[in-house]
Structure 1
């Protein structure tokens, strides 16, 4: 109650400029700009602490405001607007269009649904956006030339105004509000509309449009109830469909709802998935409805008839080990019992009848004829040429998808019935116009990982079916390719490193779904909550010091210091360069990596400013940032474009904005999979499919890093749920085949095809080991096998003791180079540096070597940023010079920079 009273008081002091809608944690502006919403599971035990944190954050937020596109040039805003429009134009998915009802002929509509007055632009947490000048839903309709019932609009606006609490526009607060506040009505009850108002609406138009809004957030997952119609919504649909001849459904959501009801009403003619469109995407919706834009988006998830049809939902949520402490102090787990059968891989193999809208599906206002003009397959490559011709009456774009089906032997390596192998998108084709797409992939990409026998990728002998398709379900043409003899691929295709199992300990006692015994292996809810010994013994530090020579430190050279720019020119100077660092300097560099990294002027090492997020890059200042880039559509929408070139353009645009707001390291893109529709951060991730996710991540990475900023592919790895991920690290049990074929692939493609120079490790554990402390993950796989040459940073750091879960000592041993100290920065820095110094005293050889590796990785990362401008593109050939564009005190710590910035801001406000 204290927090609610405080919020109400602050609402009055802010003159009602912003409001907080208690409906499922929704946040928005009371002006015409749409805002964010966070749909959260309430955790009442945390409210007291969060209330205090929230109150403090709101006070800070009034001192340090953030505004959309603040700090970027007008030219960049104009360019970003065009890119964002194209992203949403191509990302909108037309799910239903009976009898070609869309585009609208009668451009007058009645709009129902509270989301029409509260358009959701993004989700909550690090992926949130601030857009004070966004295009709202009705402005989007107007842009498309569609008129709407203004009297009905006023009814919803009045309802919203009388059911709201304040909001400050700060992403952190938006993330916490849902925990502190109780639930409220999600929709205006339809009975609040009088018979006269409904009759007036019918007279205005025979067409109604219903908008559903729902968005996830960091820190919380959704429930099944969140994604199903509640009684108020069902009553609204009943009333609207019985009063109007034509009804259109618009989903302004981050997660795929249960949509079976769309087919249960004869008057529902059309349904559209617009996702979370960013600050200008509402214009795209208006243009799609009116026909100015022809939708070309395709689903990147399978939409089942019922949420219970997803096998992952049986092992998703809150499962606690017996005998552990309550709440965040407990130990929790999740079992990936579905194995490799995720999304369409499950449905197409075991339950095709359970799918309402299949993976890769999406309608258009025109028709396309396909002709396969070429097919070639050999031991190296599979190539397909497809001529696409627009045979309809409207200009449009089309997506060609290529899948394969591998030969399966009962009892052999698990294989799904079908897998995506390649895809391509045409340009805008006018009626009668054609374009030939050439799609190819490596033959070895059809191999499966054999964790039981060969510990390698295996391309089994037999016949492979190559399928040219409009979706995973709509196959246009099938070809065959025969592998005469089984091929075992023992070495990585990029580095040549020998491959072997790295995660044998991550599937302890796990029963994994198998085609050989569906009934006996089908996923079930956990029944055994006893804690394995590996869980009880996790987070133990090495106790035996490494023998050998203690690495040099604090060395000075007669001819002057070896600078970082010298190492860029001559990599053989690495060890002599590192010998110059003192132990304290190395420890400080590792410990001070929250929203920026420390510099050291005497060795020519510049600091960097680092920040979120996937849909809008923030400027320096961590959670107290005052500058922010353009608010683009979310990754979920971008992926539905199936347009790699557009994804790269988006990345390049964000990179330009990062340079303008002063950010050198971008905490994005998100590379986790949408394992369940309930995932709180599904809006931050591309797809249920690892290949599509990886191609998109690689494209965004190439674009962003072309502007001399560094991305951090996140969250490495298996961070597919928010529930309990920070409660001692969610113990994630998953088999190695599934790890390699699904959850690691987006990161692998981001590294190998995108050449990413940064990775963010995840909060959760794989098996019993925190991801940020897993040497098999961060060294053996990421660096040695894949050839990654960059920097690894933790997720936002919440360790207050310097030991246990998120132990910085274990992070350094695993070559997790930086600790992203965040909310309780000063306490964390003290505890982290104390822990690291203590471990160095115990193990100066082993820990000293580990510190040197981390510091070197940090320094190499900086070479790829604007902090040190490179004339050539690669290390060590780069001729690097310190930037003269900005006056930088390289010895200033991240703490000093944050304090100086805040102090200056407060003095300006005092004046």
Structure 2
């Protein structure tokens, strides 16, 4: 059955590609010297991202260089996730290869047994890289099928114990775009439990390695005396596995710290009450953020410390560090702490210093968690006895809370603030009081000066928000709701504007004004834009799927874009054949707490992209780990917006240095995968601004990216790409963003309604990531032209602004700065083929293809979990 299904799915994929007009030309391999450089960065990220959770009696580093390795993940671990965060590599460094390189001997009988098991459960492969890439996206699962424990016979275990008294258990999970985890998939399966029982009973010394993209339930590692050590090695990318045995034998001293809270039970997260599949009476899915600001450590450190197994910021080392506060300086502008870190142990290592604050809370007032991260820094490698002084500083106003009820502003309330120097959110070294004598209302953005006001009152749906004043009485409880009470004015097009002037189009000057002219003299913007015709403007805003259209006569380059956060990919969208280094997942990057490594990753991606001809990178991801079950948590950094925002900013700065445009994604509140296409998302404005938007605000202001990707979900009743409050009032006017906004992958075939180019353009989403260009081109073009005909003033000026935003982005690309670089665009989707057709026939033609592809998608997803 599997073979027949594989033939069907392969044929379907080929047909899908034929009707989708993807380009197949490649731009060559990345320079080996660049790969050598980026692979070293990847290994270093893994080295510093590994989090050592447990190390009883200093069992690690290993004294015995012979080990037995158990678990299906020992042979077929997850190197990446599925979807945009997937990686493509034919030759990743395997765990066994890494052990061999490090000189650690392993039990070959066990390896052979697990290889046989994994061979019977691996995904099908063809000789075609394109097909393999798509099969990985469509068919990958987020759990491994563990070998039946009956094969771990008494005789096999006896031989294994004779080989070595040390066993390593590998537990593997990945995650996938489009689907979330369940509590069950983030717990041990029955076969895994049985395997753990057998191994822990047979061996005196057991080490557990978690090859995971999401934190999972781990309470069981404390239930067995023989489990001496445990570490999270994450999903390590193409080269990261190299660092794992080096960590085990001490060549690498682990310095990773958790960027998530690990609880004994995932259900203890208050967000679990409304996460995943919740449906209105009458249809349509929704999610309500009942917990408000109280997610992750903000909840557990305020209300439920006893439910935490490993706190936020936690991570062990093989050495010891002494921390001494050298100086503090607190004033109305900045909170600054200098901390001297000394390695008092016997092994060289790195250490992180974390600074938290605790703001004064008034019962019934603005909600505040008991503690919040303010800043952090990491030392260089310190030899035994060596010291380094770190300076950590953040703005005093960063301790303000958003008051959406009274002031519609950030409020820094008077009272005593505790500034806490810490090893993690719970293990404090020193704390200091800072007194603020008068309440400060911050009514204007400190960067742009724009007046701050509530922008998202319409996306709070009236539910009771968790409150510190009465946590039991306000603890989340899923509501039963009627669709008709909430879903009003969905996907509504604005009324035409009667007053004002339509923009000029197609103006011809004696001398053409090019984009290069504008780059050298910004006063020429208006005259430059006047030259664009309606057809040219239309193509610019609708042809944004893995590329953005160009206008050669005006010097506007055609640019090439691709995913994703784990590795920059070459041209040709989903069917890319070139790829840069596959890095460890974003959570591992976050757990390094090393901003220099994040910068190096972005810089390396920029160099690789230049070799592959990629101008725009759909990365990094800045969404929040609202719940451990989030299907794309591995693409994001943390449950905390400060870590998330700072890491995203550094990656962007690195990419900027190489003229690689980034699009931070997915803006905003796209914190689950279940029903993400159009799910109605409701959140109070305090939680939005302090948690979910903050992770985007930091990189927008600190790194000045030229791209943002809007999200699939709706905020309230408006698709993110049609929310002017999000994309205009907040992003551009309040934060000062300059660049383009691209939608997420779109399968809108009609050109109207949800994810339509018309709604997008009206509301500040500048182009559509058209996923199936030849299926969408005619309808999108017709929709844009019809919108202009109906509203030449309102829509016409919005269209002009979108084109300007796209050009602002293009000025920063290699395609613009190095126009001598060319590419084969012969297979890039174009409307030219259809320009002379009568529109009625193409509508029928496209409808047939629309039906075919929807049937295809149903078939693919119905069988997704068969293999």
TM-score class, shorter-chain normalisation, is: over 0.9
Alpha-carbon distance, 1:540 to partner: 1.0
CA contact (8 A) 2:778 2:831 kept: no
Matched, 1:675 2:626: yes
Q: Matched residues in 2 for 1:812 and 1:533: separation?
A: 28
CA contact (8 A) 1:510 1:733 kept: no
Q: Matched residues in 2 for 1:178 and 1:370: separation?
A: 45
Show the counterpart of 1:569: 520
Q: Matched residues in 2 for 1:257 and 1:77: separation?
A: 33
2:390 to 418, 432, 437: 437
Alpha-carbon distance, 1:306 to partner: 1.0
CA contact (8 A) 2:25 2:572 kept: no
1:456 to 398, 409, 414: 409
3-state SS of paired residue (1:241): helix
CA contact (8 A) 1:124 1:171 kept: no
Matched, 1:793 2:742: yes
Q: Matched residues in 2 for 1:782 and 1:312: separation?
A: 26
Alignment of 1:271-670 (within 5 A): 271-324=230-283, 331-526=284-479, 528-557=480-509, 559-670=510-621
Alpha-carbon distance, 1:521 to partner: 1.1
TM-score by length of 1: 0.88
Deviations 1:869-892 (A, max 9, x none): 1xxxxxxxxxxxxx3432469999
1:854 to 792, 802, 809: 802
Alignment of 1:217-296 (within 5 A): 217-296=176-255
CA contact (8 A) 2:329 2:337 kept: yes
Deviations 1:220-247 (A, max 9, x none): 1111110111211111111100000000
Alpha-carbon distance, 1:7 to partner: 4.5
Show the counterpart of 2:651: 700
TM-score by length of 2: 0.93
CA contact (8 A) 2:144 2:173 kept: no
Q: Matched residues in 1 for 2:14 and 2:517: separation?
A: 49
Q: Matched residues in 2 for 1:354 and 1:585: separation?
A: 58
Alpha carbons of 1:864 and 1:59: their partners in 2 closer, same or farther (altered >3 Å)?
A: closer
Alpha carbons of 1:64 and 1:211: their partners in 2 closer, same or farther (altered >3 Å)?
A: farther
Q: Matched residues in 1 for 2:424 and 2:821: separation?
A: 51
Q: Matched residues in 1 for 2:236 and 2:600: separation?
A: 17
Show the counterpart of 1:879: none
Matched, 1:110 2:58: no
Q: Matched residues in 2 for 1:520 and 1:582: separation?
A: 60
CA contact (8 A) 1:595 1:621 kept: yes
Alpha-carbon distance, 1:208 to partner: 0.5
CA contact (8 A) 1:408 1:414 kept: yes
Q: Matched residues in 2 for 1:812 and 1:163: separation?
A: 46
1:687 to 625, 628, 638: 638
Alpha-carbon distance, 1:143 to partner: 2.5
Show the counterpart of 1:811: 760
3-state SS of paired residue (1:95): strand
Q: Matched residues in 2 for 1:813 and 1:276: separation?
A: 40
CA contact (8 A) 1:54 1:176 kept: no
Deviations 1:451-502 (A, max 9, x none): 0000000000000000000000100000010000000000001000000000
Structure 2: unaligned runs, 5 residues or longer: 835-867
Show the counterpart of 1:769: 718
Alpha-carbon distance, 1:532 to partner: 4.5
Deviations 1:751-792 (A, max 9, x none): 101111100000001111100000010000000000001010
Show the counterpart of 2:786: 838
Q: Matched residues in 2 for 1:652 and 1:769: separation?
A: 36
Structure 1: unaligned runs, 5 residues or longer: 11-49, 325-330, 870-882, 900-911
Alpha-carbon distance, 1:895 to partner: 3.8
Alpha-carbon distance, 1:289 to partner: 0.3
CA contact (8 A) 1:209 1:247 kept: yes
Alpha carbons of 1:571 and 1:533: their partners in 2 closer, same or farther (altered >3 Å)?
A: farther
Show the counterpart of 1:122: 80
Matched, 1:97 2:45: no
Q: Matched residues in 2 for 1:143 and 1:364: separation?
A: 23
Alpha carbons of 1:389 and 1:165: their partners in 2 closer, same or farther (altered >3 Å)?
A: closer
Deviations 1:720-758 (A, max 9, x none): 0000011xx010000000000000011111110111110
Show the counterpart of 2:843: none
Q: Matched residues in 2 for 1:397 and 1:66: separation?
A: 45
Alignment of 1:74-89 (within 5 A): 74-89=32-47
Q: Matched residues in 2 for 1:707 and 1:610: separation?
A: 15
CA contact (8 A) 1:708 1:865 kept: yes
Show the counterpart of 1:873: none
CA contact (8 A) 2:607 2:658 kept: yes
Q: Matched residues in 2 for 1:281 and 1:811: separation?
A: 40
Alpha-carbon distance, 1:443 to partner: 0.6
Alpha carbons of 1:859 and 1:341: their partners in 2 closer, same or farther (altered >3 Å)?
A: same
Q: Matched residues in 2 for 1:546 and 1:888: separation?
A: 44
CA contact (8 A) 2:342 2:388 kept: yes
CA contact (8 A) 1:715 1:762 kept: yes
Q: Matched residues in 2 for 1:79 and 1:185: separation?
A: 32
Show the counterpart of 1:903: none
